[in-house]
Amino acid sequence: MAGLEITRQLLRMRRDWDRRAKENARHYVVTGQHEWSDEEFFKSGQITLEEEILNDLPNICQGKDPKEMKVLEIGCGAGRVTRAFAGFFGEVYAVDISREMVRQAREAVVGFPNTHVFHNNGKDLSALYGGWRGRFGIATRFQIDFAFSIIVFQHIPSRKIIENYVREVHKILRPGGLFKFQVQGCAVDETEPDHSWVGAFFTEPQAREMAERCGFEMRYQYGAGDQYYWLWFFKK
Ligand SMILES: C[S@@+](CC[C@H](N)C(=O)[O-])C[C@H]1O[C@@H](n2cnc3c(N)ncnc32)[C@H](O)[C@@H]1O
């Protein structure tokens, strides 16, 4: 996936998210509050774990013990959810486009040796299976059981980049495994100048077509037309 516009969008996202992370990472991660104590911030990650994972265990674990599962989080920010995942799943891999967010996420998971946070290029997962060949072996041998993303794709202005992530997850997810993620479902003004804040939106047919193109079954969806439009993509 080349293209000048994509390259420009990636540069803009990296620069803007680094700036936001240095200014006040936790505020930009969850804008409801300006100042977050450690306790409040990580409690909000725990609430996300309860709402999106613990309430949905049959789809996510499919009978597996969570402690036996390898999971991926795309766009981990300052480690709010990553830390909650670290205490619940066996192995956690997380990526983020911003070096400063990655630094803060690594700090958040100090004491959790089962958790690995990578700085990535904003469009694929080669940070996991590419540069770390020696560690993980070839890409096809690196497999995850579940992938997750929240409040990330709603900020990505390009459907091509979002779809590329879906294809990338397909490469490393085990057959039958779930990629549960949230996109913008509300028809936003995509001409908004700050393109690293207002992301592309998806209608239900667009989401379903993307699932088909990328080798997934879109089995469930929730919140079409809303900012928090949740998609359950099961790998065929
Ligand atoms: C609003 S924060 C949410 C962080 C985290 N998901 C949470 O809920 O706590 C959005 C995060 O997505 C990251 N991000 C934005 N665009 C990205 C991209 N193209 N690839 C990877 N991460 C991205 C940002 O750096 C930021 O850390």
Please say whether the beta carbons of 86 and 92 come within 8 A.
yes
Q: Which residues of 53-91 are buried (b: 16+ CB within 10 A; e: fewer)?
A: beeeeeebbeeeebeebbbbbbbbbbbbbbbbbbebbeb
Tokens of 61: 């674990």
Q: 77 pLDDT exceeds 60? A: yes
- Nearest-atom number in ligand 1 for the CA of 101 is 27
Q: Which residues of 123-152 are buried (b: 16+ CB within 10 A; e: fewer)?
A: bbbbbbbeeeeeebeebeebebbbbbbbbb
What is residue 33's predicted lDDT score, i.e. its pLDDT? Answer: 82
CB-defined site of ligand 1, < 6 Å: 13, 17, 29, 75-77, 80-81, 95-98, 101, 120, 122, 150-152, 155-156, 161
What is residue 206's predicted lDDT score, i.e. its pLDDT? Answer: 98
Mean of the pLDDT values across residues 154-167? 96
Residues 6+ apart with CB under 8 A from 86: 92, 109, 112, 114, 115
Percent of the chain whose predicted confidence (pLDDT) is above 90: 83
User: 88 C-alpha to center of ligand 1: Å?
Assistant: 21
Predicted model pTM: 0.95
What is residue 125's predicted lDDT score, i.e. its pLDDT? Answer: 95
Domains of the chain with CATH codes: 4-235 (3.40.50.150)
What is residue 142's predicted lDDT score, i.e. its pLDDT? Answer: 86
CA–CA distance, 38 with 90 (Å, rounded to integer): 23
The vertex-170 CA angle with 61 and 89, nearest 5°, equals 30
- Nearest-atom number in ligand 1 for the CA of 161 is 19
Q: 178 pLDDT exceeds 90? A: yes
User: 76 C-alpha to center of ligand 1: Å?
Assistant: 6
Closest CA to 150 of 48, 57, 32: 48
Tokens of 43: 């409690």
Q: 118 pLDDT exceeds 60? A: yes
- Nearest-atom number in ligand 1 for the CA of 31 is 1
